[in-house]
Amino acid sequence: MSAIVSEFKIRPMQGGFGAEVIGLDLSEELSRSKFERIERAWFDASFLIFRDMAMTPRQHIDFTCRFGPLHIMTPLHYNHPDHPEVMVLTNLEDAGKPLGIRRAGMGWHSDGEDKRIPNAASMLYAHVVPPEGGDTLFADMYAAYAALPEATKRLIAGRRTRFSRIDMHHVHYPHEPALTEQQKRERPDVFHPLVRTHPRTGRKSLYVGRWARDIEGMNADEGRSLIEELFTYAASGRFVYRHKWGAHDAVLWDNRCTLHCATPFDESRYTRLMHRTTLEGDIPV
Ligand code: SIN
């Protein structure tokens, strides 16, 4: 092994879903060879954990954009005031004004699944974490697809799901204002394949999420109950890793082959402050 590659370690987690990167400082610029090693490990593991990082928002942006162009989340007012590429997720307020989005991502989803071009990846960095609760769950959608019974694979092959922000916004964000007519026009319903092929690894994964409503070519009830069934199956313990955050952990996940889900914590007692960068993606096929 060369001196360059021995400088940090990548420890795959049990079962190969997820890996921990040990001994890498993300505040420093990465050489091309180090970056390529990280990227390969990320494609193999679907998410990477970096513990105890000291990263400024600028360094967080600089690291993430090595993987591709960054996406600026809307509405813009939840983004970092000096760095619009960084979305702030927090229950903190200043004089009654939220300093970021609250209760984001509670429900299994992949980022941007309700958009025509969903986001390829996201990197969440923990600034302040509660002593209990506020974990993030990740589900391995390659493994979920691979383990489906052959009859289910045949049933879902070639089918598309309708994802709808318009139908589901009030369900997932009851504490946020209703969508305006302009926002509805900007986020129309979209159709994505139930089984997608990762553009870089060529592997197939199951593609459902909390904005999925029904399935093209099936009546609404039938489609909805199949989505429920697939969801319950994918979120069952065997495909899931629970990340208990330590302050200054960062997790980089691939939205094309994983689902994730934020979990609650006692907001009246504790603070949670996270920064997220998000990558542009591709149309699922
Ligand atoms: C997200 O869905 O991006 C946020 C997950 C979390 O805050 O745990």
231-246: per-residue pLDDT in tens?
999 998 899 999 999 9
User: Which whole number is the average pLDDT over 93-119?
Assistant: 95
* pLDDT given for residue 234 in this prediction: 95
Compute, in angstroms, the gap from residue 107 CA to the centroid of ligand 1: 9
Compute, in angstroms, the gap from residue 247 CA to the centroid of ligand 1: 15
Average pLDDT of every residue of the chain:
95
Compute, in angstroms, the gap from residue 111 CA to the centroid of ligand 1: 9
**Coil vs helix vs strand at 46:** coil
Cα of 223 vs its chain's centroid, Å: 24
User: Which whole number is the average pLDDT over 160-188?
Assistant: 93
* pLDDT given for residue 7 in this prediction: 85
Nearest ligand 1 atom, CA 245: 8
Assigned token pair, 217: 């070519």
Per the document, the length of the chain is 285
* pLDDT given for residue 3 in this prediction: 44
Q: Is there an atom of ligand 1 within 6 Å of 122 CB? A: yes
* pLDDT given for residue 266 in this prediction: 98
Nearest ligand 1 atom, CA 272: 7
* pLDDT given for residue 236 in this prediction: 86
Nearest ligand 1 atom, CA 109: 2
Q: Is there an atom of ligand 1 within 6 Å of 112 CB? A: no
283 contacts 197 by C-beta, under 8 angstroms: no
Check whether the bond before 57 is cis (ω within 30° of 0).
Answer: no
Distance CA(259)–CA(149), nearest Å, equals 20
**Coil vs helix vs strand at 256:** coil
Please state whether the predicted TM-score (pTM) of the whole model is above 0.85.
yes
Count of other CB atoms within 10 angstroms of residue 215:
24
Nearest ligand 1 atom, CA 89: 7
C-alpha pair distances (Å), 38 with each of 141, 164, 262, 277: 21, 34, 25, 17
Using CA positions, which residue lies closest to atom 6 of ligand 1? 262
Using CA positions, which residue lies closest to atom 2 of ligand 1? 105
Compute, in angstroms, the gap from residue 143 CA to the centroid of ligand 1: 21
